[in-house]
Amino acid sequence: MDSSWSFLHLIGAALSSAKALRLNPEQTLHSLGISLYQPNFSLLPGFMGSAAKILTATTAVNGVIAAELARDGLTGPSDILENEKGFWHYFSYLPLPYIALLTK
């Protein structure tokens, strides 16, 4: 399956910003939920074929903004990863039953 990996920058920026802002665990969870609400999905022709690939970096900016919004009280979905229509559903490379095994 061809897919974009720019969501990794989004997750990394949201979580590292949450740490830098000293967010509590609940705020950190909201930071992740806010950031993954609209994950970036770069299409290969744009990334490989033009200077527009620089826009992939906007995911990092969005992650920082998500942490700032969580700090200021905005809430995000706490089940953004595992919801049946959540992140894993659309971006998983493993069948969902196997993802559950990764936490054991």
Question: Mind listing the pLDDT tens digit for each residue in 40-69?
Answer: 776 666 667 777 777 778 888 999 999 999
Residue 26 lies inside a defined structural domain of this protein? yes
**Residue percentage of the chain with pLDDT more than 70:** 77
Residue 78 lies inside a defined structural domain of this protein? yes
User: Domain tally for the chain?
Assistant: 1
Residue 1 lies inside a defined structural domain of this protein? no
Residue 34 lies inside a defined structural domain of this protein? yes
**Residue percentage of the chain with pLDDT more than 90:** 41
d(CA 57, CA 54): 6
Host domain of residue 55: 7-101
Residue 49 lies inside a defined structural domain of this protein? yes
pLDDT(86) > 50: yes
Asked if 84 and 77 count as a contact pair (C-beta separation under 8 A), the reply is no
Residue 1 confidence (pLDDT): 44
Residue 54 lies inside a defined structural domain of this protein? yes
